[in-house]
Structures are given as structure tokens and as C-alpha cells.
Structure 1
Amino acid sequence: MIFIDNEGGTDPKLNLALEEYALRNFDASTDYLLFYINAPSIIIGRNQNTIEEINQEYIDKNGIKVVRRISGGGAVYHDLGNLNFSFITNHDGKSISNFKKFTEPVIRVLNELGVTAELKGRNDILVDEKKISGTAQFSTGKRMISHGTLLFNTDMSEVGKALHVKMSKIQSKGHKSVRSRVANISEFLKEPITMDHFKKQLLTGLYEAKEDFEIHKLTEAEWKAVHELKETKYDLWDWNFGNSPKFNIQRNKRFPIGEIDLRIFVEKGHISDFKIYGDFFGRQPIADLEKRLIGVPYDKNEITNKLCQITISDYFGKLENSEFIDLVYGND
């Protein structure tokens, strides 16, 4: 495994560009590990409707950046008290949605530090039933990213102010507020340590399991390419916010795999615009599924026939075609 040195940069747009560049361009026969810490920002899941996830007035007033990542899942708040880790590896088709595989080494190191952590739910690491980490994944070809947050000393008061938390998510978790569900790792340490010390201990712990551990410092040419990706993608409003579609039908439901929020525009009985939002994880681009339904009559049999040749779980995780069709057409 090779550790990628991001040289301490805290620009979330540059860090996410570095992560994607490494995924698509670094040696495909090698595993990589990347750490990065972002300045105050909201990181939006690939399939989410940004405007509905953020408190626009608050983030504008406080200079909080909003950046969309390439992986699915929900929106998260980052600041200098949050350490992000990213494993960039090959996958055999079974690694996607296998969060246990990639969180185990992190959990092991946390336990060695005296923090009794465990993986629970879809993709969360908890200590004493409080969330200290959330993870997400993205795959392309034979390569994949498994990345996550580690709330070390985050300003929790900012989370609720910067994000709009949907009631469906709160109710599904069985809690009255997000603040009561999250905690900082620093709260569970016997002795206080700095973020830099925590980062070094985590890296050392992960290094102990990999004899061939190396450090990669980006070349000037590689940094230039990362900056170009940032400028042509992560700096753009179209990527981070995107155009919200016209719709006259909205269908929303929370499944075990996450929330699916549909915006459908029907004209003269046919679907003329179709957009899917949510915090789910899937292997295939959701845009492919959206395009498939454009022009289809808004009729359950027609929709069923159009989708019979595809596997819905490729787009959402463990979800049946019939469940998705019922959501599209309005059956609960």
C-alpha cells in the first residue's frame, strides 16, 4: 500500500480532485491510502439535490464551501477537526457495498487507542451508539474508492446550522436530533491528543498491517493535472449544484438502502423529465436509469416493460425492480 501525501492542503475542491485523479490515473496494480482535512465545507453525495440539503443563507454568510463528491451517500459537514481517509483499490465485484472490509483496519486502530468502535447500520462507525464516522464508495472499471470521515474534534454546533436534515432520516434512526447521534473521537480518548498526533497514530497503525508501505509525493505534472481537474469540475456550479428539473410529481421513500427521491415531469401522458436524488449507493450511474425513462408513457405497465431488461439493484443496492416501479408510479 502507498500513502499519498496531499502536502497538508485543506481546500475541499482540491482534495476531492486529488482523490479522483488518483483513482483514475495512479498505478492500477497498487493499493493507495489518502488522508485529507478540509476547511469548513459541506460535501454532497453524488446523487443528492444540493439546494435541498444545505442552509444556503448560513453557508453564504460563513463562507462554507459546497462540493459534490463522486460517491453516493448523504451530505456531511467537514471542518479542520475532521479527518478523512480514502482507500483506493481494485475490486472483484464483491467489494462494492462491503463497508466492513474497508472499515475494519480503521476500527482496529481506534480500538488500540482505547476507542471502542464498531460498524453499524449501512456504513457508520459508532462508539457507545454515537456516530463518529460515515463511509461511502465509488467504483469505475476495476478500481474503487472507499472513503470516510473521522470526527475527531469537529464543531458539532455547525452541523445543524449548515445542513438541512430531513425528518425522514431522523425518524428512521429513531432519534430526535442529529446532535444526539454524533460524537467526536476526542471525547472517548483517555488522554487528550492533537489532530496531528491522531493522524500519525492512525497512519502508523494502518502501516503495521502493510509491510510494503510507501509514501508517494506528487510530481509537478501530477499536481498540475489535479488542479486542472479541480478547475474543470470541482470549481463548477454545474457539478456542485446542477440544474433542478421541472417536475409535477414528487415521490419519496426511505428504504433500508437509503432514501430515494423522485422528481418526474409528465407532459401529455409521457415522462419528459426524470430525476433521481438520494443517499443510496449503487454501482451504475444513476443518469443512465433516468435517461431510460424519458419519453415513456406514465403508465405502470409501460414503465415495468421498459425496466424489465435491467437490474435495479445495480443503481441502488439491494432493491427489487418492483419496489422501484411502485415508487415511480405511486404505490406505497
Structure 2
Amino acid sequence: MSDLADREWRLIRDDPRDGATQMAIEEIAARTALEDDLRTVRVYSWEPSTLSLGYRQDAETVDWDYCDREGIDVTRRQTGGGGIYHDRYADISYSIVAPAEEVPGNLMDCYELFCQPILEGLRRMGVDADFASVEQSSIYQPSCYLRDINPAHDVVAPASAGEDAKKISGNAQYRQRDVVIQHGSISYDLEPAHHVGVFDANLERETFTDRVTSIREEVGIDRTEAVDALATALGEWCDAEEAAWRDGELEAASDLADRKFGTDAWVRDREVLEASGQ
């Protein structure tokens, strides 16, 4: 349990949602943290499968025809880094939302704090996971899982393999209205064809599998069991009560998804809403 456990937290085992809604709902959770003094941890999945672009990623790096043909949604995150293919089955995602004044101001210290329950969840699954012990150079910059591996926020397995360990989770943070939002992707299984296919580049599947591992590959447990282990670790970390989104939050997230995260202006051109429209 962390020092943040004396605050009010909720744990949401979220329903599968489309990419635009998943991004919008984090901003609504940030508003709730500030206005209602209620912090959020959650686990979630993507329906349909979605490519989330990094904040500054060039839309021309996407193979739009491939995504359209394969029924893969595309959205853009508020966090930087490369694009992540979030498979409906193979990806497990999480987010943590808390007021900035309550967490370390140093980015690396905040990563270390917020990744505690992620590492604990993986260990409960039986995965030998930890922050990367050594840096690894980038293979393909537009892809999160093929970028350079950073010991500050990239989680690898098996950790005992040292420089031969493979990436299993990527994590990123941003600050919005004095709130820190961290979200991350954890590989439950591997879908290398889609992970490389969503990009407009000639990448072999082995490029992905040589760099990335998964929960299923490491320990072979059922996905439901893996999701439960992660959710339980998150909830215990901050002593959260299990809850659901309020109707008003879901309505606000749907509106923001329609106005921002689901629009071509945001996804392809990174055009930001005027402040009055936020």
C-alpha cells in the first residue's frame, strides 16, 4: 500500500470501449479528481482494436488502408512516444489519475511510484518483471514497442535476463489541469502481424517478436486471471473502493470523444480544441 492510500480512490474494472472514448474518459476522470476529490485507478480494454498515436506522431507513419481493412480504430493520445496497437484480446491497459500536488514533482520519481502496482500485478501473475536494467536502441521510432527501451519507465521480462529481457509494458504520463494521468499498455499476448501492419513501413513480424514478450508467453495464465491480478494490485496499492463511472462522466466523455479524440482534426492533424470548448 502506498502513501496515497489515505486519500479517496476508486477502482474501475472498465468495460471495453472505443479508442476515442478511452482517451476522453481519462480527462473526465481528471476533472473528477479536482472537483470531487476522487482519484481513479482502472483497468480497461479496447473495442474495436485500436492504434493510439503518440501526441507528436506524424499521421503519415500510419498505414491507413491496413487499419481500415482490418477494422482497427485510430486515435491519438495526450502522451508522447510512438504508436501502440491495442488488440482487443492481446492488450491489457490501465490508468492512474491523481492531483499533481499529491505526487512527486520529479517525473522519474512519479513513474517509480505509479508503476509499483503494475510491477506487483505482474509478479502476482508469476511474471519476472522489472524496469529495464539497460537501455536498448530504437528499431523503429514511430512504434512504442520498437522505440528505444528506457529504464525509467519501460518494463521488461524476464528481468533476470538482463540485457536480453524483452519489453512487456510501456508507460507514459501527462499533466492536465493540475492532475497527473499515467496510462500504460501491457502485452497479454502477441499479435505481431497487426503491431507492424498498422505502420506504413516494411517491418517483419520478427522485428516485433525479437523485442517484445507477453504475459501468456512468460507464464501462460488465462487473460481473465491476468486482468484480475492487475486490478487487485492497483486497488490494494491505493486502498481503492470498487466503483463504476457516474452517468454524467460517461456522457461528458462521449461528448469529448465526439468533439476531439474521434475527429480527423485531432487524430491526423493534432488540432487542439479552443479552451472554451474543453
Answer yes or no: is the 8 Å Cα contact 1:2–1:215 preserved in 2. yes
CA distance 1:131–1:205, shift in 2 (3 Å): same
Matched, 1:177 2:207: yes
CA contact (8 A) 1:14 1:227 kept: yes
Q: For each residue in 1:242-295, what CA deviation from the matched residue of structure 2 results, as whole angstroms up to 9, or x when unmatched? A: 179xxxxxxxxxxxxxxxxxxxxxxxxxxxxxxxxxxxxxxxx9xxxxxxxxxx
**Counting helix residues as a fraction of each chain, which structure ranks higher?**
2
Q: Which position in structure 1 is the counterpart of 2:144?
A: none
% identical equivalent positions: 24
- 1:162 is displaced (CA, Å) by 1.2
Runs of 4+ in 1 over 4 A off after TM superposition: 164-167
Which amino acid is the alignment partner of residue 161 of structure 1? G
CA contact (8 A) 2:91 2:187 kept: yes
Q: Could you state the TM-score of these two structures normalised by the residue count of structure 1? A: 0.64
Of the candidates 91, 96, 101, which is equivalent to residue 107 of structure 2? 96
Which whole-Å deviations, capped at 9, do the CAs of 1:75-121 have from their partners, x for residues lacking one? 11111220111010122462434422211221122123221101122
Determine if contact 1:19/1:34 at 8 Å carries over to the other structure: no
Partner of 1:10: 17
Check whether the contact 1:160–1:179 (CA below 8 A) recurs between aligned residues.
no
Structure 1 residues 210 and 136: CA distance shift in structure 2, 3 A: closer
Aligned with 1:209: secondary structure? helix
State the match for 1:47 in structure 2: 56
Does residue 131 (structure 1) correspond to residue 167 (structure 2)? The answer is: yes
- Structure 2: gaps (5+ residues): 1-8, 133-149, 159-164, 273-278
Matched, 1:59 2:79: no
Gaps in structure 1 of 5+ consecutive residues: 168-175, 245-284, 286-332
Counterpart of 1:42 in structure 2: which amino acid? L
Look up the SS of the partner of 2:256 in the other structure: helix
For residue 187 of structure 1, report the CA deviation from its aligned partner.
Answer: 0.9
User: 1:1-332 to 2 correspondence within 5 Å?
Assistant: 1-6=9-14, 8-27=15-34, 29-38=37-46, 39-52=48-61, 54-80=62-88, 81-92=90-101, 94-97=105-108, 98-120=110-132, 121=150, 122-128=152-158, 129-164=165-200, 177-189=207-219, 192-211=220-239, 213-242=240-269
- Residue 142 of structure 2 is matched in structure 1 by none
- Is the CA contact 2:55–2:270 (under 8 Å) kept in the aligned structure 1? no
CA contact (8 A) 2:122 2:229 kept: no
Distance 2:26 2:232 in 1: 21
Q: Who is 2:161 aligned against?
A: none
Report the alpha carbon displacement of residue 197 of structure 1 after superposing the two structures with TM.
1.9
Residues 22-31 or 156-165, more deviating: 22-31
- For residue 208 of structure 1, give the secondary structure of its aligned residue in structure 2: helix
RMSD: 2.5
Q: Deviations over 1:141-174 (max 9, x none)?
A: 321111100110242221111124699xxxxxxx
* Relative contact order, higher structure (CA 8 A, sep 6+): 2
Would you say the 8 A contact 2:154–2:167 is kept in 1?
Answer: yes
Distance 1:219 1:109 in 2: 26
1:272 matched residue in structure 2: none
Structure 1 residues 96 and 230: alpha-carbon distance in aligned structure 2, compared to 1, 3 A threshold: same
8 Å CA contact 2:55–2:77 kept in 1: the answer is: yes
SS at match of 2:169: strand
Distance 1:68 1:166, change over 3 A: farther
TM-score in terms of structure 2 length? 0.76
Read off the aligned partner of 1:232 and give its amino acid letter: R
